[in-house]
Every structure is written in C-alpha cells, then in structure tokens.
Structure 1
C-alpha cells in the first residue's frame, strides 16, 4: 500500500507539473488548475493500476508521455511539436535521475524499493521548488523554445534512450548490461545535446546578423534622406540672407519701419547661419566652418565665396588634405601678420568656383614676406611665417591626382594661392532630386 501511494503521488505530480509547464505562458492558464489537478489525478490512478499488472517500464513511460501530451492538447491549443518537445525534455530529466538513482540504490546497494520511491518523490519536490523559484533554471528550459521545430528530435531521442535505460534497469538481472547501455546512451545523448546547442547558437547568431544587417540598411536609408535634405538646405541658405537684405532695403525705400524692424529680427539669426558654409558636401563644410570659427576666435576676418560642384570624382580625403592645409597655413600667416601691423589689415578670403569641369580654389591671406629656396620653392616658416613644407607637399600630391596645378604669388602683404583641378561629373541617383 505504501508503494502504491508513493507511486500515485509521483505520477500525479509528474502529470500535473508536466502539463502546467507546457501551458505556463498560455493566457488564462491559472484558471485551469482545478481541472488540471483532477485530470492529472485520474490519469495517475489509471497508470498505477496499469503498472501493477504490467512489467514494462518503457511502455509505462510512453503512456505517461502520451497522457501529458493529451491533457496539454485539451487544455492548451499548442502545436504538437512544441508539446512533444516540452514533454520529452521534462520527462527525460526526471527519468534520468530515476534510472541512475535506481541503479545505485536498489541494484548496487540493495536498498528496498520503497526508499527509492521516497527518494524519487523528494527529488521531484525539490526539482519543482527549484523550477519555480529559480529564474535561471526556468530560463534554461524555455530559452530554446523558439527553436523547438528543429530541436524536438533531440528531446524525443533523449526520452527514448533514457526510457530504454529505465526499462533495462528494472527487468535485467545482471547489473553490467544496464551500466554499459546507460554509458552508451548518455554518450550519444550528450553529443546530440551538444549538436542541438550548437544549432541554437548558430540560429541566434544568424538572427543577430540579420538584425544588424536590417539596422545597417535603415541607417543607410536615413543617411541618404538626411544627406538629401542637407543638400537642399545648402542651396536654400546659400543666398537666403542676401534676399532678406534686398527686402529690407525696399522696406526702407517705401518707408515701412515696422516691417523693417521685423526683417531685422529675422535677419540676425539667418545671418549667423548664412555665415557658415553650406556646400552640400559634409567634409568640405566641416573644414570650412571649423577654420571659420578659429579665425573668428583669433579676431581675423574671413570671407568665403563658395560655389562647390555636386557629384564629382574628387575624393573627400583629398579635399580634406588640400583645404585643411591651405586654411591652417593661412590662419598661421594671418596671426603672424597681426603682430606686425594693425588688425584691420589682416584678412582671409577663400573662393571656390567651377569653370566647366575645372575646380578653382583661390585663397588670399595676409602674410609676412615669404622666403624661397634657390630652386624657387617656398620654405617652411613655423615661427612667424607661413607654414609650408610637408603641408604644401601633401597639397601638391593631392592636386596631382586630378591633373591640377598650384600657383602662388605675393604682393602688398597678401599671399595668394590658386589651385586648379580637373574633375569628372558623377551621375546622380534617379531617386534624388
């Protein structure tokens, strides 16, 4: 009677929690506890009577699995593969402990069967407590659930192998055969689990790469949209403040003081924006605006007249080399000149124009008298003079890529550099305006 009672408790809890774990995430599962408990108790009672007349633990294990799957399907409309994955994984873990503990306690140490049943029941109680109190253990069982359609075969193979181990442990008289088969089954099962884990890891990495690729595409689309809007704003602000100045003069001509005051309030922030370079090329704009800010900080007037062509084959790094070195040299020379003459005589003027397929960059800046080598090349003058040397050589190297040339001249304390470069137009994307 004691064995029957413990067997009933073990089977009823196995069925109850096996079904409950399957439908734990199902909406409204908490309202079905009473129904689930009654069905689990009824199924466990029938299985106990069957085990009393049957001597096949493997067949009992299959019937137990079928009962869990049937009750789960009735209560929760899950996919059969998910039910099979969940049920086989759950029972495999329990049967593995049962098999090992039975071989050790009953077959090796000859402990009475009732003590093994008590151990199995206590183990299940601890297992269920750990399962519902430990988030990591529950997550370990549920994380691969999204891959159950490809992993359910692993759980089915594990259930079959462990059920055979359990059957041999009960029906075989010699201990050696179950031990050997158990080692073989566990080895194969371990390899299958490793392969399943590798597959899950591969699937996750594949999904991660797909997500990163999608984010990359979205960023490229956003960049294209922002760049298109940036180019449109460049054209808008290029001469906008000049139009406002004309309107302001007209209001003064026709004696409209209130309108003139209103336009003055609008011109002030627009003039600040308009003083920046808006060429439509981010590299060019960054270099020009950063040097413009340095000139303003040093109190050196800087004027820019930019008409930069869109969509050329001139690379951004070459433009960076040319413009940054030119303007840095000009800033240093103008700063040196400001120490020798009144500040109002120091200035920097940059003009960029296109003539056909030729880009012309003309820079004029206040500068002390430069010095030349006997070969006619400018010498470096970091202390108080215009900085030429490696910077100018880098400029020459970049200009030569586009079949260009550099000309320099000096007169009345103004150093002038003129650069011409040939470029090829690049066709614009049809989607762009």
Structure 2
C-alpha cells in the first residue's frame, strides 16, 4: 500500500508540475486548481495502469500524453510547442529516475520503497527551483521561439530515455545498461549541441536582419532628409541674397533697428546656405568638412555644384578624387596666404554634368608649382610641411582613369587650376519617399 501511495504522489506531482511549467509560456496562473484536479485524476489512472503489468516505456508515453492533453485544454498552445516542452520536461525527470534506480536499486540493492521516497524528496527542491527561478522563465521564453525547428531533439531524447527506462525495469544486465546509458547520453549530448548551435545561428541571423533593417531605415531617413535639404538649398541661397538687398535698403533709408535685426538673422541663414546637399553622402561629407577647414583657416571657398548622384562612380573613387583635390587646394592656399594675405586666397569648386560626363573644376590660390622633365608635379616642401601635390595627384589620376577620364592642370597668376572629366553610366535608384 505504501508503494501505491508513493507512486501516486510521484505521478501526481509530475503531471501537475509538467502542466504548470508549460503554462508559464503564457504566464498562466489562474488555472492552477484545474491543473491540480486533472493531474490527480489522471495520476490515479496511471497508477492503476502502471501496476497492471504494462512496461515502463508505455507508462512514460501515457504520462506524456496526459501532460499534453491537459496543457492543450488549459492553454490552447500549438502541438509542436507542447510536444517540445513536454518531452524536455519528462526527459529530465525520467533520466533522473532511471539513473537513480540503476545506482540505488540495481547497484546497491536498496529496496524499491526507499527509492520512491528518495525520488519524492528530491523532486521537492527540483520543483521549487523550477518555478522560483527567473532564469528558467527566460530559458522557456527563448526556447519557445525556436520550437518549430528543434522540437525533434527533445522528442528523440524522450524516446531514448523511455527505452532505457524499460530496459532498466525489465531486469537487463547492469553492464549492458551501463553501455546503453553511456551511448544514449553521448548521442543526446551531441543532439543538444546541434540544437543549441541551430538556436545560436537563428539568433545571429535575426540580429543581422535587424541590423540590416536598421541600416535600410537610416539610409531611407538620410535620403528623405537629403531630398528636403536639396530642394530648399536654392531657397536658402536666394533668401540670403534677398536679406543682403534689404540690409542695403535699410542702410539707405537710415533704419538702424532694421539693419540690426537683419544682422542677427543673416548669420544662421548664411550657415545653412553654405551647406552642400548633393544626394551622395561621400560628396556631402568631403565638401562640407573641407569648407569648414577653409573657413577656420580664413580662406574663402565658393562652390557651384550639380552632382548626379545616381551614377556608377564608386564612393571610394570619389573620396580619393575630392579629398585629395581639396586637401591639395587647402594646403597650397595656406602656403600662399603666408606669403601674401589670407584675404587674397580663395578656393573655387565647380562640379557639373554634361550628359554622361562629369566635370570637376577646382581653382585655388597657390605658389608656382615645379615640374619634372616628364611634366609631373614635384612636391614642394616648406618648413617641413609638404604641399599635397605629390602622391595625391597620382592617386587622383589612377581613380580618374577607371572612368576613361582626363585630368588637366594649369597655373597662371597664382591660381592653380585642376580640371577632371569622367564618363559615367546612370543607374536606377528608388526615389526616397518624402
């Protein structure tokens, strides 16, 4: 009679905790009484079924079926998710049972009733840890996101452990059971490693997809902002001119308060109108950053730019051409300003398209350059500071030649002029939504 009571308690606790652990997927707590009542009824039936001469593997399968049916009735979850959680839970439970049975009953010949008492005592802290651990809740939540592709692993583990349970209670030799246990645990370990690797791969793939989506959103946002600024660039520029005219009229008609007000608002308008928005991030960054450098150095820089951003000209080639050109111009203008005055030095950049030809023209103040016998520019050093008309120009030539382009230079009246023409092909681009 004692054995029947212990079996009932073990089956009851196993069913009840299995159902409640599945319920934690939905954070269900209002159905506990229903789960306990159903678990008690099915535990009595399984206890009678287990003592009617049926094998332990059949009893384990019946126990799984009971947990799945009750959980489906209470929580209405997907069958694959129920199978995945139920098999995982019972695999851990039954593996503990069979290993403790082999060690205590088969190896040390402990009476069956003491083994049942040992199991009952061991399950109390196990169940407490199962439901009190927040880490367990996180594992269940993460595990449930990938059950459609890995539910086979806990199902295979349950089948293997059920067979081992049947062999243990059928009285197979202990040596045979030891070998089967080692083989089964090794296979189970490999299967779990594969499932974990799959979950890790899925997470990394989701992370990459999220990063790619964020990148696309950032590009779309930049394109939208760029379109808005480019559409208003001419308006800002013209508004700046209109303010200058109004300022002159205010001075003419002796309206000092109006002049002061115009002076207070003209500065931010000048800053906005000086920004370049071409549609190409590379072009925008290089030109605007060099404009700031020229402004800080007291060098006047004027720009007249109409850049066709939907071309096959690569960003790295544009970076090479424009950055080297403007850095050369800034360095040369700075050297010339030390000889004359910063007010007399300037940089003029023009970018235009003529059908499928891109024209880049740069004029900057510069001391007279020197050439080799082959007609190449020679780097001129002044106080250990090189003018960047050396390797920079060679890099520009290499980038220009990729697009069947031509680079020409000229010098007159302290002005160094560089003209670049490149052929390009238009490419289709989705117009950004405004």
TM-score bracket, normalised by the shorter chain, equals: 0.7 to 0.9
Q: 1:431: which partner in 2?
A: 431
CA distance in 1, matches of 2:109, 2:143: 39
Over 3 Å counting, the alpha-carbon distance change for 1:192 and 1:244 in structure 2 is same
SS of corresponding position for 1:31: coil
Worse-matched range after superposition: 217-226 or 106-115: 217-226
CA distance in 2, matches of 1:136, 1:420: 64
CA distance in 1, matches of 2:361, 2:305: 10
Q: Say if 2:83 and 2:151, in contact at 8 Å, map to a contact too.
A: yes
Name which one, 1 or 2, has greater alpha-carbon Rg: 1
Q: 2:244: which partner in 1?
A: 245
Query: Aligned-pair distance for 1:270?
Result: 0.7
Query: Aligned-pair distance for 1:113?
Result: 1.0
Query: Aligned-pair distance for 1:118?
Result: 1.4
1:362-398 CA distance string (max 9 Å, x none): 413153x544545665432211695533334444444
1:9 aligns with 2:20: no
Q: Say if 1:380 and 1:386, in contact at 8 Å, map to a contact too.
A: yes
Q: 1:389: which partner in 2?
A: 390
Query: Aligned-pair distance for 1:236?
Result: 3.6
Q: 1:350: which partner in 2?
A: 348
Superposed CA RMSD: 3.5
Q: Say if 1:99 and 1:165, in contact at 8 Å, map to a contact too.
A: yes
Worse-matched range after superposition: 351-360 or 218-227: 351-360
Q: 2:295: which partner in 1?
A: 296
Query: Aligned-pair distance for 1:7?
Result: 2.0
CA distance in 1, matches of 2:229, 2:9: 73
1:263-316 CA distance string (max 9 Å, x none): 4433221123334445554434433333333333333x3131413342455554
SS of corresponding position for 2:145: helix
CA distance in 1, matches of 2:172, 2:291: 95
CA distance in 1, matches of 2:353, 2:115: 97
CA distance in 2, matches of 1:179, 1:418: 85
Worse-matched range after superposition: 208-217 or 80-89: 208-217
Q: How does 1:323-342 map to 2 (within 5 A)?
A: 323-341=322-340
CA distance in 2, matches of 1:296, 1:430: 36
Q: 2:81: which partner in 1?
A: 82
Q: 1:64: which partner in 2?
A: 63
CA distance in 2, matches of 1:353, 1:33: 75
SS of corresponding position for 1:54: coil
Gaps of at least 5 residues in structure 2 are none
- Which one of 402, 406, 409 corresponds to residue 407 of structure 1? 409
1:26-61 CA distance string (max 9 Å, x none): 35x323333333333333334334444435333333
Over 3 Å counting, the alpha-carbon distance change for 1:318 and 1:49 in structure 2 is closer
Q: How does 1:192-203 map to 2 (within 5 A)?
A: 192-203=191-202
CA distance in 2, matches of 1:244, 1:36: 79
TM-score for the superposition, normalised by structure 2? 0.82
Over 3 Å counting, the alpha-carbon distance change for 1:163 and 1:359 in structure 2 is closer
CA distance in 2, matches of 1:341, 1:180: 94
Query: Aligned-pair distance for 1:16?
Result: 1.5
Equivalences, count: 427
Query: Aligned-pair distance for 1:253?
Result: 6.5
TM-score for the superposition, normalised by structure 1? 0.82
SS of corresponding position for 2:378: coil
CA distance in 2, matches of 1:392, 1:407: 10
Q: How does 1:106-125 map to 2 (within 5 A)?
A: 106-125=105-124
CA distance in 2, matches of 1:148, 1:250: 77
1:128 aligns with 2:130: no
Over 3 Å counting, the alpha-carbon distance change for 1:208 and 1:120 in structure 2 is same
